[in-house]
Structures are given as C-alpha cells and as structure tokens.
Amino acid sequence: MTTRYLRNLVWLACLTATGAAHADYVSNLGVINAPAAIAFSNSTDTNLSVGTIVAPLYNFRDRWTFTLGENASLTSLVASFSFAGTFGLDNIQVNLLNAVGVVAVGWQNVTMNGPFTTSVSVTPVSGLTAGDYTLQVRGLLLNPPASYSGNLIAAAPAVVPLPAALPMLLLGLGALGAAARKRKQR
C-alpha cells in the first residue's frame, strides 16, 4: 500500500515537472529607431510550445523585448502578422508592456482570416518614448505544426517641409515694415 502510494506520488511529481519545463518564450529584438520594421517569428519547429499559462483560451505566451532608441520619436507602432498556411493556432492576441511591466496597450485581438497578413496597432494613446518595451503574443496552440511570423513596424513622424512661399512672405513683411518706418520718419 505504501509502495503504491509512493510510486503514484513520484509519478505525479514527474508529470508536474515535465509540464513546468515548457516555459514561455522570450527573445530580444534589439534597439529600434524609427522608421524601422523588425521581424519576429516562432513555430513548433523552434520554440513554440505549450507554456505555463493555465487558461482555456490560451496555452502559450511569447515575449518579444525591444528598446526604443533615444532618437526614436514614434507616431505609431504596429504588429503585423502573417499566417500563411497555418491552421494550428487560434485566438491570437498581443499587448504592449512598458519597462516596469505596466500595460501600455491592453490585449488586442489578431484577426486570422486564413493565409493573409493582418495588422494590429499597439500604440498607446499617450505615445511612446525612448525606453524598454515588451510585445507579448499569446494564443492557443491547437496542434503542431503551427507557426506565426510578423513585423514590428515603427513609424516616425512625417517631416513637414517649409513652404517656399514662407520666406518670401517674411521678406515682404520686412520690406513693408521698413517702408512704413521710413514714411513715419519723414
């Protein structure tokens, strides 16, 4: 009786240890300066596996860390996904965390309309400043083979050119001012 109980306990410990061996995947994308498009991907052939999430709708979570450089002034940050011929994933969502782990953008659903590319904006309302961020991707791994790939697209503010008429306008106003001053002195 005791031997059987001990054997079951050891068996349970082994099963628990193998379940904990599947950790969430973390990778660093490096420093991003806008404009830029940085690629990321994961598949069951590399690191995509059932993670530590215990939820009925999600069983993996990948974390893609990156740093916005000092000279990066972003107007938008978009995660673009490609699901070409992939049917082993479901319920994909993304969110963005700042350096201290506070959610900058809540979970956004990634629409999976077959083998097409879809984009999700992960730009917080308050904007993005230089610093460390984490793009989290979570979903349900149904069965291998499965994969996803995407790009983190950082857009810089558009540079507005100085109109050619503006210097001429200022020159004309200066000439009018000089003429008015000369007339007043007479």
User: The CATH number of the domain where 56 resides is what?
Assistant: 2.60.120.380
Domain-embedded: residue 14: no
Domain-embedded: residue 33: yes
- Taking a C-beta distance cutoff of 8 angstroms, is the pair 121, 77 a contact? yes
Model pTM?
0.65
Structure tokens at 128: 């993005």
Domain-embedded: residue 149: yes
Domain count along the chain: 1
Domain-embedded: residue 169: no
- Taking a C-beta distance cutoff of 8 angstroms, is the pair 140, 110 a contact? no
Distance, CA of 78 to CA of 2 (rounded, Å) = 58
Buried b / exposed e over 163-182, threshold 16 CB at 10 Å, is: eeeeeeeeeeeeeeeeeeee
CA distances to 17, 43, 88, 116 from 52, rounded to whole Å, are: 12, 17, 18, 29
The model's confidence at residue 19, banded by pLDDT at 50, 70 and 90, is: very low
Query: Mean pLDDT, the chain, as a whole number?
Result: 74
Residue range of the domain that includes 59 = 23-159
